[in-house]
């Protein structure tokens, strides 16, 4: 077996590769050992996943959804206590639940005195930050490129001979280099980013009843004059990302959206009752 990123022999590799990081709630969608070698697995974790997860959007989206990292930690949720004009943070404790206190560097005394001096029966308020859309920057582009390519790979796991087919296919070389090596000028591979459903939206179907979907993905085939384009379409916390796996352009996906009333292909495929 060979690694789908560096193309080196990966027979001795022992690491599973999570297509979407565990820190975003994924425990089901993984590539078995060998499809991504241990070296590329470590590089991806440190250089591609970590920068996105530790970005302002990454931390805020995980905190607001209460999604723990693979070490069981939920990032602090930052907000404001208007009465004392104090920046506060909510931290999750396994025994106590959410705990509120002044953020690091803030005047703890002012916060405490304001709480103590609140008249009986008067309700206070906290203004909590809510995540906007992530920036379409170099960090996000490489993160989505990694997920998109691995989503394609996951569709081929059970097909005999397809490790070689993926590794040797030159159509994906530009994307795999972008993930594995990046660009010295931090070129941004075009990606589509939009909110397609609220992060706490409840889907319903006969089999599962009402349920949330933290993440989902699919490969969309779009015909063009020279054959087909392959787009990975991914949703994480209701934000849809789309990326062209064969080259840095989005015209084919944007055309597909116009022809389908701008409805996400993920929603087209989601079962409803």
- The predicted pLDDT at position 267 comes to 87
pLDDT digits (tens, 9 = 90+) for 199-214: 888 777 656 667 778 8
Q: What is the pTM of this model?
A: 0.89
Residues above pLDDT 90, as percent of the chain:
64
> What is the arithmetic mean of pLDDT over 43-60?
95
* pLDDT band at 269; cut points 50, 70, 90: low
Residue closest to 245 by CA, chosen among 179, 149, 163: 149
Domain chopping of the chain, boundaries: 17-55+134-268, 69-105+126-133
**Worst-scoring range by mean pLDDT, 91-95, 209-213, 215-219?**
209-213
Helix-helix angle 138-154:173-180, to 10 degrees: 130
Q: Which of these ranges, 9-13, 121-125, 218-222, has the smallest mean pLDDT?
A: 121-125
What pLDDT is attached to residue 22?
92
Select the more confidently predicted residue: 252 or 120.
252
Other beta carbons within 10 Å of 233 = 24
Distance CA 116, CA 40 (A): 53
Average pLDDT estimate for 243-262? 95
> Is the model's pLDDT at 69 over the cut of 90?
no
Residues 6+ apart with CB under 8 A from 194: 133, 239, 240
The more confident residue out of 31 and 110 is 31
* C-alpha distances in Å from residue 82, one per residue of 106, 130, 249, 251, 255: 13, 16, 45, 46, 46
Kindly state the percentage of the chain with pLDDT values over 70. Answer: 96
pLDDT value of position 206: 59
Asked if pLDDT for residue 226 goes beyond 90, the answer is no
pLDDT number for residue 185: 92
Are the C-beta atoms of residues 228 and 155 closer than 8 Å to each other? Answer: no
C-alpha 91/C-alpha 79 separation (Å) is 11
């Amino acid at each position: 077996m060979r690694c789908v990123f560096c193309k080196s022999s990966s027979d001795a590799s022992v690491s599973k590769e999570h297509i979407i990081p565990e820190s975003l709630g994924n425990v089901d969608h993984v590539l078995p050992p060998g499809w991504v070698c241990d070296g590329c697995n470590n590089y991806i974790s440190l250089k591609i996943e970590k920068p996105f997860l530790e970005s302002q959007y990454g931390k805020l989206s995980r905190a607001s959804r209460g999604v723990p990292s693979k070490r069981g930690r939920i990032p602090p949720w930052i907000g404001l206590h208007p009465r004392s004009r104090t920046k506060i943070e909510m931290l999750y404790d396994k025994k106590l639940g959410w705990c509120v206190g002044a953020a690091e560097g803030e005047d703890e005394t002012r916060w405490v005195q304001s709480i103590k001096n609140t008249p009986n029966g008067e309700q206070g308020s906290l203004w909590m930050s809510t995540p906007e859309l992530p920036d379409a920057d170099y960090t996000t582009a490489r993160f989505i490129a990694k997920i998109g390519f691995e989503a394609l790979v996951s569709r081929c796991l059970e097909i005999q001979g397809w490790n070689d087919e993926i590794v040797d296919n030159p159509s994906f070389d530009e994307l795999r280099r972008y993930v594995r090596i990046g660009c010295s000028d931090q070129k941004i591979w075009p990606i589509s980013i939009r909110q397609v459903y609220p992060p706490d939206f409840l889907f319903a179907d006969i089999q599962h009843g009402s349920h949330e979907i933290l993440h989902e993905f699919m490969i969309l085939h779009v015909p063009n004059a020279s054959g087909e384009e392959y787009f990975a379409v991914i949703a994480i916390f209701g934000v849809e990302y789309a990326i062209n796996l064969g080259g840095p352009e989005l015209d084919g996906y944007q055309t597909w959206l116009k022809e389908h009333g701008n409805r996400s292909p993920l929603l087209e495929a989601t079962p409803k009752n």
